Amino acid sequence: MVENRGISFFVTLCVLGAFAILSSTMSKNPVLNPFAESLDTPTALMGVVAAASTVPGIIISLPAGMLSDILGRRKVLLTSALIFASAPILYILIDSWWQLIFVRFYHGFATAIFVPVAKASIAERFPSKKGEKISTFTSATLVGRSIAPFLGGFILSVTLWNYDILYAVVGVAGAAALLTALSLPREEPIRGEGAASSDRSERATMREPPPRWSEVLRNPGILSVSVVEASTFYAYGALEFFLVGYLNDVVKLDPFLIGVISGTQLVFIPLVNPFMGRLSDRIGRRTPILAGLTLGGLILTLIPYTTSFPVLLAISVTYGLSFSMVTSSTSALVGDLSRRDLYGASMGFLATIMDVGQALGPVITGLILAVTPGYTGSFISLGAILFGSCLLFGAYRGVTRRPND
The answer to whether position 17 is within a domain reads yes
User: Which percentage of the chain shows pLDDT scores above 90?
Assistant: 37
Overall average pLDDT of the 219-232 stretch: 89
Distance of CA 237 to the CA centre of its chain: 9
Give me the pLDDT at residue 204, please: 44
Return the higher-pLDDT residue of 124 and 291: 291
First to last CA, the chain: 23
Q: What is the pLDDT of residue 380?
A: 94
Residue 167 sits in which domain range? 2-395
In a domain, 269, yes or no: yes
Q: What is the pLDDT of residue 188?
A: 56
pTM over 0.75: no
* pLDDT at res. 197: 43
Q: Residue 148 above 80 pLDDT? A: yes
pLDDT on residue 84: 97
pLDDT band with cut points at 50, 70 and 90 for residue 30: confident
Looking at residue 33, its pLDDT comes to 85
Q: How confident is the model at residue 187 (pLDDT cuts 50, 70, 90)?
A: low
404 within some domain: no
Does a structural domain hold residue 371? yes
| Residue 401 placed within a domain | no
The predicted structure's pLDDT at residue 268: 65
- 3-state SS, residue 96: coil
Weakest-pLDDT range from 17-26, 85-94, 256-265, 395-404: 395-404
Instruction: Write out the DSSP string of 335-378.
Output: HHTS-GGGHHHHHHHHHHHHHHHHHHHHHHHHHHHHHSSSSHHH
Q: What is the mean pLDDT of residues 353-380?
A: 88
Q: Residue 213 above 70 pLDDT?
A: no
Q: pLDDT of 155-180, one tens digit each? A: 998 998 899 999 999 999 999 999 99
pLDDT of residue 39: 93
Q: Which DSSP string corresponds to 116-168?
A: HHHHHHHHHH-GGGHHHHHHHHHHHHHHHHHHHHHHHHHHHHHTTS-HHHHHH
**Residue 14 pLDDT > 90:** yes
In the chain, the number of structural domains is: 1
SS3 of residue 110 by DSSP: helix
User: Is the Cβ–Cβ distance between 100 and 36 less than 8 Å?
Assistant: yes
Q: What is the pLDDT averaged over residues 10-19?
A: 93
* CATH code, domain carrying 316: 1.20.1250.20
Q: Is residue 400 part of a domain?
A: no
Q: What are the CA-CA distances from residue 267 to residues 98, 147, 292 (Å)?
A: 33, 8, 17
Q: Is residue 141 part of a domain?
A: yes
CA angle 193, 75, 217 (to 5 degrees): 65
- H helices of 252-403, in order, are 255-267, 269-283, 286-300, 309-336, 343-371, 376-395
Distance (Å, whole) CA 151 – CA 52: 23
Strand, helix or coil for residue 43 = helix
Residues 242 and 356: their CA atoms lie apart, in Å, by: 18
Q: Is residue 403 part of a domain?
A: no
Q: State residue 195's pLDDT score.
A: 43
Alpha-carbon gap, residue 340 to 130, rounded angstroms: 12
Helix (H) or strand (E) holding 17: helix 2-26
pLDDT-based confidence at residue 191 (cuts at 50, 70, 90): very low
Q: Which comes out higher in pLDDT, residue 249 or 380?
A: 380
Report the range out of 16-25, 60-69, 195-204, 206-215 with the highest average pLDDT: 16-25
